[in-house]
Amino acid sequence: MNPDRPRVRINGSGLVVAAALLLAWEGAVRTGAVSFDALPAPSAVVGAARDLMATGELPVAVVHTLRVTVTGWVAASVIGVGLGTPLGRNATVHRWSMTSFEAAKAVPPITLVPAALLLFGFSLWMELSLVVFAGVWPVLINTVGGIHQVPTELLDVARTAGLGRWSTIRLVVLPAALPEIIVGLRLSLSLCLVLAVIAEMLGNPAGIGNALILAQQGLRPADMFVYVTAAGLLGVALGGLLRLATGRLFPAATIS
């Protein structure tokens, strides 16, 4: 075995507990121990998932939400680091604009749904604009905070080495701020997913959010559980992939 690679450990007791919870749920529904008549058993949810896979509805919805979330998150990250860098580096820029960004960050993104609907209608742009708006703030705030924490000695070294403005940012400032920025990227990714689902529920008729509302209106609880589970697995997968990627690319900057 390669000693450098972290051993994948399987959390046996954790899986047993999760399986036991599902079994208890199945048993409770089968024996009629719970009184909600709309509650499907896990086996019924699996059956519904198989049907939705066969018709293609489930993969189409998941892929849509996934693409919007990732696209919006990438855009939000670029904007967040792009705006956060001058804000963190330049005291004058910070003094003359940071409060405005703090105020914009306080806008609960869901309140922008009606405004986005007025502007873009029931469309993909409406969804993307909300996702990007929500995703920018954690990246921006953490970029500013990370840059503020860069030790002055490092900047002195850069100056002595005669690095220009861009090289200093690229080679010294951003790498030193990276641990904070990565935390912001993670927060941003989970927010982007939440806002994509919300925008799909209230606006853009596509993706997991919309499928969930349609299943609710059609009184198909098993289908609803399928989409809720899919959203949860999407969240786990996106978070896990990001952690894996940053761990591989920047092992020193990733706090687990």
Partner 1 sequence: MITRIPVLGLAPLVAVLAWWEWTGTPSSPYFPAPSSWWPALLDLHRDGLLGAALLSSARTFVLGLLIATVLGTVVGLAVGSSAVLDRALNPTLEFGRALPPAVLVPLATLFLGFDDGMRVSVVAFAAWWAILLNTRSARRALDGTLLDAARSMGLGQLRRHVRVILPALLPAVLLGVRVATPIALVITLLAEYLTGTTGIGGLLGDAQRTFRPARVYGLIVAGTALSLMVDGAVASMQHAVTRRRTAT
Q: Where along the sequence are the contacts to partner 1 (CB under 8 A)?
A: 11, 13-18, 21, 36, 38-39, 94-104, 106-115, 117-119, 190, 193-194, 197-198, 201-202, 208-209, 212-213, 215-216, 219, 221, 224-225, 227-228, 231-232, 235-236, 239
**Closest CB 183 distance from partner 1, rounded Å:** 11
Which sign does the torsion angle of CA 123, 125, 128, 134 carry? negative
Q: Which two tokens stand for residue 237?
A: 């997968």
| Residue 171 or 236 having the CB closest to partner 1 | 236
**Closest CB 71 distance from partner 1, rounded Å:** 17
**Closest CB 61 distance from partner 1, rounded Å:** 12
Sorted by sequence, the CB contacts under 8 Å of residue 74 that are 6+ apart come out as none
Return the C-alpha torsion angle 20, 26, 27, 30, nearest 10: 180
| Residue 105 or 250 having the CB closest to partner 1 | 105
**Closest CB 37 distance from partner 1, rounded Å:** 10
**Closest CB 132 distance from partner 1, rounded Å:** 16
The rounded distance, in Å, linking the Cα atoms of 169 and 90 is: 12
DSSP secondary structure of 185-228: HHHHHHHHHHHHHHHHHHTS--HHHHHHHHHHHTT-HHHHHHHH
| Residue 98 or 154 having the CB closest to partner 1 | 98
| Residue 100 or 160 having the CB closest to partner 1 | 100
32 phi-psi bin (left φ>0, alpha ψ -120 to 50, beta other) = left
